[in-house]
Amino acid sequence: MASSSYAFTPTLRTSLTPYPSLRPSPPYTTLISQSSLSKGLACSLKLSWASRIGVNPKKLEWKASSSMAEITTERGKGKVQVFDTEDDLAVSLAKYTADLSDKFAKERGAFTVVVSGGSLIKSLRKLVEPPYIDSMEWSKWHMFWVDERVVPKDHEDSNYKLAFDGFLSKVPIPPGNVYAINDALSAEGAADDYETCLKHLVKTNIIDVSQATGFPKFDVMLLGMGPDGHVASLFPGHPLVQANEQWVAFIKDSPKPPPERITFTFPVINSSANIALVVAGAGKADVVNVALGNGQSSNLLPVQMVSPEGELTWFLDKGAASKL
């Protein structure tokens, strides 16, 4: 269980490179992508006219000419955007993230970004292309993981490796602002170490704090969802979904391999200023329908417990929204 103490571990001493144990492992190096403007970018950025469609998601109607529709949900479950293709979704997700980066870099001088693993990382691909690659204030970014598998950072199952290969290696975020878990520790140790790291960053005002809950308040969380409705490493029916004291918890019996992971708890997730739930593919349509439409589930799914202090925005492609 993660400690609630503010004491620093030896690996967390303050310096210009504050968390040696949390920094990328060799052989990783930072590269800047020279990739060119994607075909869909100019078109999809013009979609601010998005149609608002009724209060009943069942009445969602597709307009042949549109690449995106916006649904207002019955139960105030956030803003729901449905894109014709996953490519359109990725373009809009890049703009959403860039707008928040501008806002928080101006307001706070730092932008704290939490990512999940899984398919989300692929959907961030437009951020590493023009115009964002050149215009974003990458030096203000501070990157965190909502969950991580307890494996070495160069292991195929590592969420850090996934993000590094698909995103981090292509943008100039200072390595000292990338807070990977300490992969030399046990699951318990890694959760404790990560929570201590977050506490230090709250104390030094890099991470904001929720006045309402006292939990860390990240500027944005970019999250995926599993086909069973799990978010982070919070799985349906697992007692960890009820954890309400720790910031970072460990799990050793994850129903999805690998079994050992660490994860932010719901109080931390729900203290966020912004959450994007990014879901693509027809394989997740049933769960999307439970969360946003008329689908039923015997238990409340973790994704249904996502309810941030700030704004929740769903990014769905047509497949994921196909049962609404």
Ligand X SMILES: O=C1O[C@H](COP(=O)(O)O)[C@@H](O)[C@H](O)[C@H]1O
Query: Which residues here bind ligand X, judged by CB under 6 A?
Result: 116-120, 147, 159, 224, 226, 233, 256
As measured in angstroms, the least distance from the Cβ of 269 to ligand X is 12
- Compare residues 224 and 293 and give the one whose CB is closer to ligand X: 224
CB of 208 to ligand X, least distance (A): 22
CB of 285 to ligand X, least distance (A): 13
Give whichever of 118 and 293 is closer to ligand X, judged by the CB atom. Answer: 118
CA–CA distance, 199 with 201 (Å, rounded to integer): 5
Concatenated DSSP letters of 196-220: HHHHHHHHTTSSEE-TTTSSEE-SE
What backbone phi and psi angles, to 5 degrees, belong to 283?
-65, -15
Greatest distance between any 2 Cα atoms in the chain:
59
List CB contacts of 6: < 8 A, sequence separation 6 or more.
196, 199, 200, 203
- Of 47 and 178, CB closest to ligand X: 178
Closest distance of CB 261 from ligand X, Å: 7
> Shortest Cβ contact with ligand X: which residue?
118
φ/ψ bin of 78: left (φ > 0), alpha (ψ from -120 to 50), beta (otherwise): left
SS3 224: coil
H helix or E strand, kind and range, residue 87: helix 86-108
Nearest to 164 by CA among 263, 264, 24: 24
Looking at the DSSP bridge assignments, the partners of residue 72 are: 79
Element (H, E) at 103: helix 86-108
Decide whether 157 or 311 has the Cβ nearer to ligand X: 157
Cα separation, 78 vs 24, whole angstroms: 35
Q: How far is the CB of 276 from ligand X (least distance, A)?
A: 12
Q: How far is CA 132 from CA 38, 93, 129, in A?
A: 11, 12, 6
Name the residue nearer to ligand X (CB basis): 173 or 232.
232
Residue 18 or 247: the one with the smaller Cβ distance to ligand X is: 247
Q: Given the complex with ligand X, which of 41 and 315 has the nearer CB atom?
A: 315
| Shortest distance in whole angstroms from residue 223 CB to ligand X | 6
Supply the minimum distance, in Å, between the C-beta of residue 79 and ligand X.
20
Q: Which is nearer to ligand X, 92 or 110 (CB)?
A: 92
Q: Phi/psi of residue 224, each to 5°?
A: -95, 180
Min separation Cβ 114 and ligand X, Å: 10
Evaluate the CA torsion angle 245, 249, 251, 256 in order and state its sign: positive
